[in-house]
Each structure stands twice: as C-alpha cells, then as structure tokens.
C-alpha cells in the first residue's frame, strides 16, 4: 500500500481510505471490527467517518458508526496508528443533531459536534475534521447537473466564523487539520482567502464524489487540488455499487443498499445504464473485475490523495483491496473515449 501526503499537513495517509458509513446499519459491529482489522493488516492507515453516519441518516442510528470505531480503538489499543477523519454536518433541518434546532456551521454547533464525536470515538483528537457540506443554500444531491442556482433565503454562516471556530479547536488540540466536503471551486477559494488573511487554518483536503460516472471534479477543482495542495479524498468510487453492474436495467439484488433503502436516485438518471454497460464491457475485455476497473481509475488520478472505499461486509472489502492501483495507458485511453461519449450522467 502506497502512502501520500495529506495536503500540507505532513501526515502520510494510505492511498486507500476505509469508508465506514454502513457501520451500525448494514454492517454490524462484528463485521465492522473484521473490516477494520483486515484493512489495517493490508496497509490502510486512514479511516473516514462522520457524525451523520450510519447511512441512511436516522435519529436512532445517529453516531452509531463513530461509536463502533471508538469501541474498536478501545479494544485494539491502536489509536496512534490510524489517521482518523470525521465530519460535522452542514446546514440541515434534520432535528436529532442539535436537539431539534437547525444545525449550522457556526462556532456553537461546531464545538458541540466535535465534543460528541470525540466522546463516541473514544479519542482526544481527530486528525482531519471536515465540513460535511456547505452552510450556504445550494444544489448538492439532487437535480440533473448540480448546476449553481440561487435558492434564495438567508445566506450561510460566514467563512470567517467557521474558520475561526476550527482554529480554536486546532489550538486546543482537539483537531489537527481541517478539510472540506461536497464543496465547489468558489467555496474552496473562500476558505483559502480567509486562511491567507490569518483567519483560521488552511484546508488540507476536499472530499467530493468522483468516479467514472461523475468526473466533474476535473473541470474546476482539480487545479485547486494540484496548485493549492487541497487534495481530493474521492468518495463513492463505485457509485454506490452501480459501477459493479448489479443494478443494471432496474435490478435490485436482495440485501443491496439500493434495494434496502431506495437511495440510489443519484444513479438512476438518463444515460447512466448505457455508461455502466460500456465500462463493464471494457473491464471484461481487459480481463478485469468491474470493481477493479472503477477503483483503479480513481486511485491513479494525479489529483487524488486517497480513494475512499466502503464495503457492507468483509468479503466485499477483500475484493476491493485486491484492486490494482494503476491501469495501462491503452485502457485509460479507452476509458476517456467512453467518457467523451457518455459524459457525467450521475453528478
């Protein structure tokens, strides 16, 4: 397992990050422990979680993933071996995070969120603390293109207030570094601006969706990742399992995430099936598992700091961690030819 530098932090993280959002619903405690043990044994030193998890978000399972990870730390006595990332929810009306009040990215909310995560994770510090999504009103997980539109209403908490709160937490030693998630080029620029003005820490990473069905990161954010060392932590490299081909033509296998939770609308848009069919056929032509094609493409991109993989059970994780980390030039050219034809059908 190769390691890469996390922004300008000096931290070395494995190029594969263990995503944990299923722990506490689809993945029970025993299997979660087995996954974490297996990942560490195979060179993974970077875990990603969030106060939001497990997924789908529900009041009764809120924080369950962090709790399981905290129990694993307590059992294994290895907190110092793991680079741990978690997240604070962005602006949301989900009432269970803040006792019925709307969660925001202001100082009071951020401090409360950090304390809750530290307690559940059974640790004194979080290596990378991320803003799960922006506070300002914007299109994120709906629509056909995620194109910007003015949604009206009050604007977000100021970048200065959010950044100042994070700086306080760094000074207190409760977080070491901060990162962004589901952010735009403009949002990254604003946090860099306030950091350069001496208000708050500099973001070291951005966690956005990036996969064969959604390469929008390449358009505006890849240059930020390269020039400003705000590296991509790519989530959903398998497009929630759609890139395996198991959901083609409306199929819903028993026990699969979209079967259980009906949350795959992001990947049920016009043109998605055609693109998946092309990529699955290409993998077969080159003698690759479709999972390995999709994962290796993401891991090999020069602006990707870590590829966040997730599995609902240990057997899936074994297949995932067996993926190559590079692809031959001819295969990359063929991927780009499909992309030229199919574009980004699932932003």
The domain spans of the chain are 3-342
Is 210 an active-site residue?
A: no
Q: Mention every residue, 6+ apart, whose C-beta is less than 8 A from residue 30.
A: none
Distances (CA, A) of 176 to 2, 169, 270: 22, 8, 42
Give the whole-angstrom CA distance, residue 46 versus residue 72. Answer: 14
CATH architecture of 3-342: Alpha-Beta Barrel (3.20)
**pTM of the full structure:** 0.95
Residue 131: burial class (beta carbons within 10 Å; 0-12, 13-18, 19+)? buried
Backbone angles phi, psi at 27, to 5 degrees: -110, 120
Which residue out of 53, 247, 267, 279 is catalytically annotated? 53
Q: How many CA atoms lie within 13 A of 39 on its CB side?
A: 31
The closest alpha carbon to 81, from 35, 50, 37, belongs to: 37
Q: What is the DSSP code (8-state) at residue 221? A: H
Structure tokens at 38: 């297996």
Residues 6+ apart with CB under 8 A from 331: 282, 286, 293
Q: Exposure of 157 by Cβ count < 10 A (0-12 exposed, 13-18 middle, 19+ buried)?
A: buried
3-class secondary-structure state, position 241? coil
The pLDDT tens digits along the chain (347 residues) read 999 999 999 999 999 999 999 999 999 999 999 999 999 999 999 999 999 999 999 999 999 999 999 999 999 999 999 999 999 999 998 999 999 999 999 999 999 999 999 999 999 999 999 999 999 988 776 656 667 777 666 688 999 999 999 999 999 999 999 999 999 999 999 999 999 999 999 999 999 999 999 999 999 999 999 999 999 999 999 999 999 999 998 898 888 888 888 888 888 899 999 999 999 999 999 999 999 999 999 999 999 999 999 999 999 999 999 999 999 999 999 999 999 999 999 98
Q: Which of 216, 54, 214, 190 is nearest to 120 (CA)?
A: 54
pLDDT at residue 144 in the model: 60
Reduced to 3 states, what is the DSSP secondary structure of residue 322? coil
The predicted structure's pLDDT at residue 155: 82
Q: How far apart are the first and last CA of the chain?
A: 29
């Amino acid at each position: 397992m190769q390691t890469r530098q996390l922004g300008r932090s000096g931290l070395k993280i494995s190029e594969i990050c263990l995503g944990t959002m299923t722990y506490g619903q689809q993945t029970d405690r025993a299997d979660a422990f087995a996954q974490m043990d297996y990942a560490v044994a195979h060179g993974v030193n970077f875990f990603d979680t969030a106060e939001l998890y497990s997924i789908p978000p529900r009041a009764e399972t809120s924080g369950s993933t962090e709790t399981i990870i905290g129990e694993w730390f307590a059992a294994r006595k290895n907190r110092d071996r793991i680079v741990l990332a978690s997240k604070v929810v962005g602006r949301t009306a989900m009432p269970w995070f803040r006792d019925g009040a709307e969660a925001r990215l202001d100082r009071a909310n951020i401090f409360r969120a950090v304390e809750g995560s530290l307690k559940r994770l059974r640790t004194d510090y979080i290596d990378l603390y991320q803003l799960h999504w922006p506070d300002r009103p914007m299109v994120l997980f709906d629509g056909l293109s995620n194109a910007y539109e003015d949604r009206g209403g009050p604007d977000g908490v100021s970048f200065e207030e959010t950044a100042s709160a994070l700086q306080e937490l760094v000074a207190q030693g409760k977080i070491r570094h901060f990162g962004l998630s589901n952010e735009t080029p403009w949002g990254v620029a604003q946090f860099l601006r306030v950091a350069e003005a001496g208000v708050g820490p500099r973001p070291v990473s951005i966690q956005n969706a990036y996969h064969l069905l959604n390469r929008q990161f390449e358009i505006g954010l890849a240059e930020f990742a390269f020039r400003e060392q705000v590296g991509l932590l790519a989530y959903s490299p398998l497009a929630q399992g759609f890139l395996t081909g198991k959901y083609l033509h409306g199929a819903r296998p028993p026990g699969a995430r979209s079967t259980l939770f009906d949350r795959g609308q992001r990947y049920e848009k016009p043109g998605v099936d055609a693109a998946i069919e092309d990529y699955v056929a290409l993998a077969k032509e080159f003698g690759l598992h479709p999972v390995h094609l999709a994962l290796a493409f993401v891991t090999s991109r020069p602006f990707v700091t870590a590829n966040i993989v997730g599995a609902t059970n240990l057997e899936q994780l074994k297949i995932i961690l067996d993926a190559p980390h590079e692809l031959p030039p001819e295969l990359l050219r063929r991927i780009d030819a499909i992309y030229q034809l199919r574009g980004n059908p699932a932003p």
